[in-house]
Structure 1
Amino acid sequence: MMALYAALTSLVLVPHVVAWGSLGHMTTAFVASRFVRDETRKHFQHLLGDDEDGYLASVASWADSVRYTRWGRFTNTFHFIDAHDDPPYRCEVDLERDCKETGCVITALANYTRQSLDDELPRWRRAQAAKFVVHFVGDLHQPLHNENVEKGGNGIYVLWDDREFNLHHVWDTSIAEKWIGGRTSYDEAERWANQLTLAITDGKFSDEKKKWLDDLDFSHPIETAMAWSREANAFVCTHVLPDGVEGVRDRELGGRYFDKAGPVVERQVARAGYRMAAWLDAIADEFRASKNRHQATLEL
């Protein structure tokens, strides 16, 4: 038992990897850290054992770093939901039909949100849960994490600035990197997050940010995650595969395709960060309220 504890504890401490790709995940987490309440920041900095400004960004890709380990392979299906739809003619997500028996990003977000609130779990388990929550909110906003066609685009090979990649990689990484100037690093993620924060508070997203939270209902995490999933999945019809699979296969996507896809990625990263902040606020509030209720019961 002690050996298992030591192994799992070491996984909690795995550093983030620069591999939505890591740029999108880190940026989303940085945006969230700009909008969480002060009490929420203190809660998660304590839980994660990190009082630095990047306490969320530094763990944002942790879930990707463990999914291919012997311990973490059970989480592999937690990063996506396979929408069995028919883009570009019909885009839709159905939980019963599309979520694998081993789980999906919808059920994973609900499960790890619940674990992050369980005061009977050891702190390292709740820290693990928080890292999964941060990551899965990001995954939910990447359109191809909400699509089944060709394994979420992994089986569709395209050209990106004369280099061959699969379409999933393009939407995970290439579009975001090109959008911010071709660089990807922790510092670049923070810089991009600062730009998005200004766009949300005083810029082009300021008028729509309130609506971004319309479907957020902390008491119904499955329904909330499904709303975000359906929103992202709709982009598969309009921007990812507007002319079907053959409209992109072996085609150069670094030009006009990028011009249309870039703003979608930008908006989705901003949405994910803003929503993540609200979700983390709700977790911190409920954890605090639960402890207060427990204390009041003890004092009766």
Structure 2
Amino acid sequence: MSRLLALFAALFAFLTPLTANAYWEFGHETVAKIAYLNVRPDTRAAIDALLRRSKLLDTPTCPARTIEQASVWPDCIKQLGERFSYAYSWHYQNVNICEPFDLKSACKDGNCVSAQIERDMKLLKDKSVPARERLQALAFLVHFVGDLHQPLHAADRADLGGNRQKAQYGDYATDRLNLHSIWDGPLAERAITTPPSIVRTYSQAEKDKIAAGSVEDWSRQNWEVSRDVAYKTAMGGDPCGPRPDVAKLDNDTITKELVPVAKLQVERAGLRLAKLLDEALG
């Protein structure tokens, strides 16, 4: 156990500064892989054709030669400062879990993740748009569908999507962890690596069931997951109840309640992304 805790300590010491990046790299890349395996062949060819022109992005430190690289490109470019600072608010939407669902107020002037997903779809569909802008739209779309399905990017409780809520993950306790970073990192990684694998080709019936609905429908569902799972378990049963100084997620809760939901969220994101890519590029 001491060796395991030491490993976690090293992991979080290295990755904690990146917690603003939803799902870190592993989650986003997994969403992208699921989508790539489940799009139509003509869609896959169109994706590859766009990515072969990734040098047009002129971001050599943030490559996008594959769909996996493209999936983390929107986080990577944050280090480029003012050049892409306009996109920072596009990664989330602060829909209050303790009030009736209201996406419109959270997406004023289109500065939220769901509005940007719809914008990227329009850009990808329009072949008159220059290749560089369509490449950006592709990378943003792949990334933002992943962001939308990280529950703490889809809703919040006036705490920056759990970034201001300190939390303990199982036996690992540190001041450097918060509720958001747990869903971004260790929980997502555990969920993805828990058998059976979700990185596979799905049947058409499975795709139709999971990918049904609109971006707004998915936003509402992810808001509900944030309220009924992420915040409920962290707040001791009442998602809108008193805030603990440190939310404690015990191992039993993680295994039985959180891992299955986190795994489903990544699966949903991958198949819904595949649906959007087929609509835009197929």
Q: 1:286-297 alignment to 2 at 5 Å?
A: none
After TM superposition, the score normalised by the length of structure 1 is: 0.72
Q: 2:173 aligns with which of 126, 137, 162?
A: 162
**Please, which moves more after superposition, 270-279 or 250-259?**
250-259
Cα distance change of structure 1 residues 254 and 50 upon mapping to structure 2, 3 Å threshold: farther
Q: 2:212 aligns with which of 211, 214, 226?
A: 214
Q: Within the alignment, does 1:274 sit opposite 2:282 as a pair?
A: no
Q: Within the alignment, does 1:25 sit opposite 2:21 as a pair?
A: no
- Equivalent residues of 2:164, 2:178 under 8 A apart: yes
Q: 1:263 aligns with which of 244, 260, 263?
A: 260
Q: Identity of counterpart residues, as a percentage?
A: 28
Match of 1:221 in 2: none
After TM superposition, the score normalised by the length of structure 2 is: 0.77
Q: 1:100-115 alignment to 2 at 5 Å?
A: 100-101=108-109, 103-115=111-123
Cα distance change of structure 1 residues 127 and 207 upon mapping to structure 2, 3 Å threshold: closer
Look up the equivalent residue of 1:210 and give its one-letter code: D
CA apart distance, 1:233: 0.9
Inter-partner Cα distance in structure 2 for 1:65 and 1:156:
25
CA apart distance, 1:241: 1.4
Q: 1:37 aligns with which of 15, 40, 50?
A: 40
Q: Within the alignment, does 1:134 sit opposite 2:142 as a pair?
A: yes
Inter-partner Cα distance in structure 2 for 1:131 and 1:72:
13
Which secondary structure state, in structure 2, belongs to the residue aligned with residue 60 of structure 1? helix
Cα distance change of structure 1 residues 235 and 199 upon mapping to structure 2, 3 Å threshold: farther
Which secondary structure state, in structure 1, belongs to the residue aligned with residue 168 of structure 2? strand
CA apart distance, 1:101: 3.5
CA apart distance, 1:145: 0.7
- Equivalent residues of 2:34, 2:201 under 8 A apart: no
- The CA deviation string for residues 166-214 of structure 1, in whole angstroms up to 9 with x for no partner, is 1111111120223356xxxxxxxxxx8992144844xxxx975432222
- Equivalent residues of 1:81, 1:100 under 8 A apart: no
CA apart distance, 1:80: 0.9
Match of 2:191 in 1: 179
- The CA deviation string for residues 116-138 of structure 1, in whole angstroms up to 9 with x for no partner, is 22322221211111000101111
Inter-partner Cα distance in structure 2 for 1:47 and 1:41:
10
Which secondary structure state, in structure 1, belongs to the residue aligned with residue 197 of structure 2? helix
Inter-partner Cα distance in structure 2 for 1:85 and 1:108:
21
- Equivalent residues of 1:47, 1:123 under 8 A apart: yes
Match of 2:94 in 1: 82
CA apart distance, 1:96: 1.9
- Equivalent residues of 2:211, 2:268 under 8 A apart: no
Cα distance change of structure 1 residues 71 and 211 upon mapping to structure 2, 3 Å threshold: same
Cα distance change of structure 1 residues 178 and 235 upon mapping to structure 2, 3 Å threshold: same
Match of 2:130 in 1: 122
Cα distance change of structure 1 residues 209 and 112 upon mapping to structure 2, 3 Å threshold: closer
- Equivalent residues of 2:37, 2:201 under 8 A apart: no
Inter-partner Cα distance in structure 2 for 1:147 and 1:172:
14
Q: 1:51-66 alignment to 2 at 5 Å?
A: 55-66=66-77
- The CA deviation string for residues 43-98 of structure 1, in whole angstroms up to 9 with x for no partner, is 010101189xx821121011111235211111111111111231xxx5x5322222
**Please, which moves more after superposition, 246-255 or 166-175?**
246-255
Q: 2:85 aligns with which of 73, 94, 98?
A: 73
Inter-partner Cα distance in structure 2 for 1:173 and 1:252:
16
- Equivalent residues of 2:96, 2:156 under 8 A apart: yes
Gaps of 5+ in 2: 1-17, 55-64
How many pairs are equivalent?
241
- The CA deviation string for residues 23-58 of structure 1, in whole angstroms up to 9 with x for no partner, is 11100000011111111111010101189xx82112
Inter-partner Cα distance in structure 2 for 1:29 and 1:99:
25
Give 1 or 2 for the bigger CA radius of gyration.
1
Q: 1:48 aligns with which of 51, 63, 70?
A: 51
- Equivalent residues of 2:124, 2:134 under 8 A apart: yes
